[in-house]
Amino acid sequence: MRLLRTVASYDLTVAIAHGKTFLGGASVWVAGDIDQARWLAAAIGKDSVVSWGLTERNHGADLLASEVTAVRTGTGWRLNGEKWLINNATRGDIICVLARTKAAGGPRGFSLFLVDKHSLPADRYRYCPKVRTHGIRGADISGIGFDDVDLPETALVGGAGEGIEIVLKALQLTRTACTALSLGATDHALRIVGDFVQERQLYGRQLVEFPRVRRIFGEVCAASLVIDAVSVVAGRSIQNLTEELSVVSAVSKAFVPTVAQEMIGKLGELLGARGFLTDVYAAGAFAKLDRDHRVVGIFDGSTVVNRNALIDQFANLSRAYHRGQVDEQGLSDTASLEHPSPDLDPKQLALLSKTGCSLIQSLPRAAEEVRDLAAGAGRIPQHVVHMVDELEEIVTDLHREMTAHRRLPQRVPAEAFELAERYEVCFAAASCLHLWLRSESAVANISHVRDSMLWLQACLTWTLTRLGAVSVADGGAGVYDALADAMTRLPDRPGTTAAPSRSEACFS
Ligand SMILES: Cc1cc2nc3c(=O)[nH]c(=O)nc-3n(C[C@H](O)[C@H](O)[C@H](O)COP(=O)(O)OP(=O)(O)OC[C@H]3O[C@@H](n4cnc5c(N)ncnc54)[C@H](O)[C@@H]3O)c2cc1C
């Protein structure tokens, strides 16, 4: 994820185009046998590009409607049909394809196949032309059609009929990884705009000295700390809270790209005309990253699809919250940044989390810890304690509403999506709180904010404001201004030094 984020912080198209190989391979890492995994790893090691063929022209998120078929032959499988809107369908070497293997379809009616294009007769497959896109124009977004393609038995990934289950588990890894794309894009945007607000002189002053500019920049910096925390917690949950990843991946994939896009919008406003022009400032990089980033909330499960996946788990989540169920060890390992994560055991991945979400379910205990710290050493300001108290109330009320929600498959009420959205923000606040409690020194050292209390206040202020809390002191003004100062160079302010690169200002 760090690698993906770093590449994305220079060019999101490059990150998406190359990151696709991870998405294409994920099903094999989750369910392939060891020979298949070794073969694929060796191919990737020799620069093979792997793509993932799930979507079809007439069916987007609705994978159970897929029409591409694979029928058993005496020696293997025969593949027919077209996959469309596929990243690297044309340029790629290998594609992992979801195909209907039972005419009636259904959850056990689809299977996955690893198709090595170099092994196919040239007249058995064809490409759909590259689709022109709003952003990521350099990426190969195209399609591929198969006409009676014979595949060996060894092409099957996992068991026959397990395709949907494997895809849903692999998506838990890839959706989490997608948050790194958004972080890279916002690192890039903050770098461009951070430089601009310091360089640009208006009415004889630096732009960042205008109170409104400083406030907006500080607020966006606070949002960047929050999405950073969510992405770090989600990434570390892959190995440490694997069984809960169905919740964590859905929440982080819905939340991080949404907030990142909002941040880009606000930063674009600060750039003024230069956010719109394609070659006047920073080679038009801002307009490009803005266009490029829009796709992150669409592919690999759109924001709505991820919220729907969360809503499906409301009943489990509210039961687990009221029981106070927490995987203490997994949670502590996730939030302790110094703790090395173990290898992933893909067998632990589950379609639904039986234990809910430890991060949120342990919030009452985390709040208690904050109150104890405040009472003991007294180094936690009282208004921070009030914010944490209110967060706990909000989370408890939210679970009450989630308990009252009645699930109607295929007819999910619109209100449920609002609850899902609030759950994401609560998850974000809880991520920040747990990271601060378990890794305060790492937060202070790694983030450019340096002052870990400012870090916590900024994160709580941003999340609680979004939750409509009343405990946010002065609407967050003081915190956002202090954060803007910490993250920009203001020559006339004592104690400030050279501007850091904005990517240094983040966890990774
Ligand atoms: C640049 C790009 C690259 C892509 N790369 C790949 C790739 O490599 N491999 C691949 O398989 N696919 C890829 N896709 C396809 C992508 O995964 C689909 O676009 C995605 O699944 C959404 O499908 P759709 O846009 O056709 O929308 P649909 O699924 O048809 O949805 C239409 C609308 O309905 C909403 N909606 C969907 N489900 C629900 C629900 N349950 N409740 C409420 N509203 C809902 C959606 O949010 C959307 O607004 C790519 C797409 C793009 C744009």
What's 136's domain CATH number?
Answer: 2.40.110.10
Claim to verify: residue 144 and residue 115 sit in the same structural domain: yes
Tens digits of residue pLDDT in 9-43? 999 999 999 999 999 999 999 999 999 999 999 99
Residue 61 CB less than 6 A away from ligand 1: yes
| CATH number assigned to the domain comprising residue 209 | 1.20.140.10
Q: pLDDT at position 447, please?
A: 72
Residue 138 CB less than 6 A away from ligand 1: no
Q: What is the mean pLDDT of residues 165-178?
A: 98
Number of domains the chain contains: 2
Confidence bin at 443 (pLDDT 50/70/90): confident
Residue 308 CB less than 6 A away from ligand 1: yes
Atom of ligand 1 nearest to the CA of 20: 8
Mean pLDDT estimate for the chain: 93
Looking only at the bridges linking them, the beta strands covering 201-202 and 141-152 are: unpaired
CA 469 to chain centroid, in Å, comes to 25
Residue whose CA is at the smallest distance from ligand 1 atom 17: 299
User: Residue 64: which residues within 8 A CB-CB, separation 6 or more?
Assistant: 105, 106, 107, 109, 110, 164
Query: CA dist 435 to 343, 359, 390, Å?
Result: 21, 10, 19
Q: What is the mean pLDDT of residues 148-153?
A: 98
Claim to verify: residue 239 and residue 266 sit in the same structural domain: yes
Claim to verify: residue 151 and residue 174 sit in the same structural domain: no
Q: How far, in Å, CA of 251 to CA of 130, rounded?
A: 32
Claim to verify: residue 149 and residue 189 sit in the same structural domain: no
Q: pLDDT at position 444, please?
A: 67
Q: What is the mean pLDDT of residues 201-224?
A: 96
Q: What is the mean pLDDT of residues 121-130?
A: 97
pLDDT more than 90, % of the chain = 89
Boundary of a domain, candidates 133, 161, 189:
161
Residue whose CA is at the smallest distance from ligand 1 atom 35: 304
Claim to verify: residue 125 and residue 196 sit in the same structural domain: no
Claim to verify: residue 118 and residue 237 sit in the same structural domain: no
Claim to verify: residue 143 and residue 235 sit in the same structural domain: no
Q: pLDDT at position 503, please?
A: 38
Q: pLDDT at position 505, please?
A: 38
Atom of ligand 1 nearest to the CA of 412: 42
Claim to verify: residue 272 and residue 154 sit in the same structural domain: no
Q: pLDDT at position 489, please?
A: 55
Burial classification of residue 218, based on how many CB atoms lie within 10 Å of its CB (0-12 exposed, 13-18 middle, 19 or more buried): buried
Boundary of a domain, candidates 161, 185, 210:
161
Element containing residue 348 per DSSP (H, E): none
For residue 126, the enclosing domain spans 2-161
- Is residue 493 scored above 70 in pLDDT? no
- Is residue 491 scored above 80 in pLDDT? no
Q: How far is ligand 1, taken at its centre, from the CA of residue 306, in Å?
A: 11
Claim to verify: residue 90 and residue 217 sit in the same structural domain: no
Q: What is the mean pLDDT of residues 164-182?
A: 98
Atom of ligand 1 nearest to the CA of 88: 8
- Provide the H-helix boundaries in 160-271: 163-199, 211-240, 245-271
Claim to verify: residue 104 and residue 186 sit in the same structural domain: no
Q: What is the mean pLDDT of residues 320-324?
A: 96
Confidence bin at 495 (pLDDT 50/70/90): very low
Q: pLDDT at position 399, please?
A: 98
Claim to verify: residue 150 and residue 259 sit in the same structural domain: no
Claim to verify: residue 307 and residue 342 sit in the same structural domain: yes
DSSP at 340: P
Q: How far is ligand 1, taken at its centre, from the CA of residue 421, in Å?
A: 19
Cross-strand pairs, 87: 141
- Is residue 502 scored above 60 in pLDDT? no
Boundary of a domain, candidates 161, 181, 216:
161
Tens digits of residue pLDDT in 278-287? 889 999 999 9
Question: CB–CB of 441/406 below 8 Å?
Answer: no
Question: CB–CB of 448/363 below 8 Å?
Answer: no
